[in-house]
Amino acid sequence: MSRIAVVGCGAVGRSVVDLAGDHGHDVVAVADSQGAAVDPAGLEAGAVLERKAAEGAVGDAAPANALTAPYDVLVEATPTTLGDAEPGFSHVARALDRDRHVVLANKGPVAERYADVREREAASRGSVLFEATVGGAIPVLGTIDDYGPERITAVRGVLNGTANFVLTRMAAEGLDYEHVLAEAQDMGVAEADPSFDVEGTDAALKCVILANVLACGEREFTLDDATVAGITRVPGSALDLAAEDGRTVRLVGEATADEVRVGPRLVPDTSPLAVSGTRNVVQVETTHADGIDLSGRGAGGPETATAVLADVGRLPPLE
Amino acid sequence: MTEPEAETDPEPDGGRGDRPQAHTIRLELADEPGELLSALEPIADEGGNLLSIFHERGHITPRGRIPVEVDLECPPSRFEGILERLRDEGINVVDADAERYGEHLTVLLVGDLVGTDISDTVTRVESSPAATVEDLSLSAPGGPAEQASARLRLATRAGAADEALGVVRTVAAEKGLSVVEPLTEVSR
């Protein structure tokens, strides 16, 4: 059992609060951008979430109070930011400075400042895990860690559900990009500003994280090192031509220890990568055991929280 | 778009002797029991070693036939004999690559294909020794002024797929076209 502090109260943070008890953990602090609730004896999840829904803030304490609460594991679930990855990076640093563990749902610190995170971790008794940053509920990083990153030659996959939904609908209905995007926005599958998803940035961040893991510290990757193309220039006619030939187009991200690429790719209809709708899929290429295909839900509050709590369970006891 | 290299051409490098080499043959078979077997037997009889058979049952040709792609290995001197034997047996051989075009890849091009002269694009790709364009499909539903798409099937020398893709990328970049590349699977 661990004592958890959750920073960031979006869909993922709320689901972590909701599901932590089911995994046998106590939530001792929750913070959003406006306030915090702290109780070293353990917060009652239902009450915290009700208050968040009713009043917008989880509690009256200052948000920073959550960072100094008596937790074992800090769950960092604030929105992903690029560049200096703040404020997420500072939250990670403060927890490690206190010799506490960190579990990230926020991609920023491990995509943009991987070496800084690892350096802080090396000086701490705490560890940093970040399964939830790649492929939602799919155990991608856990699988890589089990086999050992030095025995993985490449990871490729469909890592953005919004882009995959748009491509799937375009191919199935013969509609153009703008039309399907509007539909996806109405359904809540795409955000009002979908650029992060459809321009390939989100998939690229996930692949950058994978490349950082595969490189084992030999080289650090950031978003600037990725070659990225999105799906906005893929017309319906291209999907039609692919379909005539038994193929389809998917936004595929590829990561090795040397390279990160994201772009629309032709894949056979029968390929494991030709997943439909918002599902994600990841292929892990191993040196001695061929390819491992993993697919599942790549986004969503309970799905991502499930990956977060799996990480919490993997952490070693703090001395 | 281009005739496959005549199989009787002597290899320019000359030095490979009669070591077995990989070939790809495309056949079209009637959808009848035993057709596939009667197509494969002559290959084995003539000394060919079957590597893989891709039987596209889901894809009937406009003539109501089933396309089959056969990868085989045989000494260069035997290849012509295999083709002759297949034709003698009444098998419809639609395409027979010389071994120098051992791999195929399909790419999509997107953009102003008409305005940037699609036939010049094809010519430029073919000017590379790495690739020949076997098939081209163009779709421009919005008319010539709108964004169009093309599907190119390229045949490349064994191991030269990356080089062929590089040529396509270069030509596309010069003309402001987007390339949707095939996923190059790690060789298994």
Q: What is the CA radius of gyration of chain B?
A: 18
Over the stretch A123-146, which tens digit does the pLDDT of each residue have?
999 999 999 999 999 999 999 999
Instruction: Please report the pLDDT score of residue B100 as a whole number.
Output: 43
Residue B139 pairs in a beta bridge with B149
Tell me the three state secondary structure of residue A278.
coil
Distance CA A18, CA A15 (A): 5
Distance CA A30, CA B135 (A): 60
Token readout for A206 is 């996930």
Distance of residue A247 Cα from the nearest chain B Cα, in angstroms: 10
Do A22 and A28 meet the contact criterion of CB atoms below 8 Å apart?
A: no
Question: Considering A206, A247, A250, A261, which one is annotated as catalytic?
Answer: A206
Q: Please, which residues have CB within 8 angstroms of residue B5's CB and are 6 or more apart in sequence?
A: B97, B98, B100, B101
What phi, psi does B148 have (nearest 5°)?
A: -120, 165
Residues of B with CB under 8 A from a CB of A: 56, 58-59, 106-108, 110-111, 137, 139-141, 147-151, 153, 178, 180-183, 186, 188
- What domains does chain B contain, in order, with CATH numbers? 21-96 (3.30.70.260), 103-180 (3.30.70.260)
Contact B141 A236 (CB under 8 A): yes
Nearest to B158 by CA among B16, B3, B27, B8: B16
What mean pLDDT comes out for the span A208-226?
97
Contact B59 A246 (CB under 8 A): yes
Average pLDDT, rounded, for chain A: 96
Do A302 and A127 meet the contact criterion of CB atoms below 8 Å apart?
A: no
| DSSP classification of residue A152 | E
State yes or no: is A52 an active-site residue: no
The least confident of A109-118, A234-243, B123-132 is: B123-132
Over the stretch A69-97, which tens digit does the pLDDT of each residue have?
999 999 999 999 999 999 999 999 999 99
Distance of residue B59 Cα from the nearest chain A Cα, in angstroms: 9
Pick from B54, B153, B162, B183 the residue to mutate for testing the A interface (most A CBs within 10 Å).
B183
- What domains does chain A contain, in order, with CATH numbers? 3-136+301-314 (3.40.50.720), 148-297 (3.30.360.10)
Instruction: Please report the pLDDT score of residue B60 as a whole number.
Output: 76
Nearest to A315 by CA among A114, A43, A101: A101
pLDDT tens, residue order, chain B (188 aa): 444 444 444 444 444 456 777 788 888 888 888 888 888 888 888 888 988 888 776 777 777 788 888 888 888 788 888 888 888 888 888 777 643 456 788 999 999 998 999 999 999 998 887 788 889 999 988 776 678 999 999 988 767 788 889 999 999 999 999 999 998 643 33
| DSSP classification of residue A77 | -
Over the stretch A40-67, which tens digit does the pLDDT of each residue have?
999 999 999 999 999 999 999 999 999 9
Distance CA A180, CA A167 (A): 8
Over the stretch A5-37, which tens digit does the pLDDT of each residue have?
999 999 999 999 999 999 999 999 999 999 999
Token readout for A235 is 């017309």
Instruction: Please report the pLDDT score of residue B3 as a whole number.
Output: 46
What phi, psi does A315 have (nearest 5°)?
A: -70, 145
Do A258 and A212 meet the contact criterion of CB atoms below 8 Å apart?
A: no
Nearest to A223 by CA among A205, A203, A206: A205
| B186 or A39, greater pLDDT | A39
Helices A140-147 and A201-214, interaxial angle, to 10°? 20
| B126 burial type by CB count under 10 A (0-12 exposed, 13-18 middle, 19+ buried) | middle
Distance CA A303, CA A272 (A): 21
Amino acid at position A172, single letter: A
Distance CA B142, CA B145 (A): 7
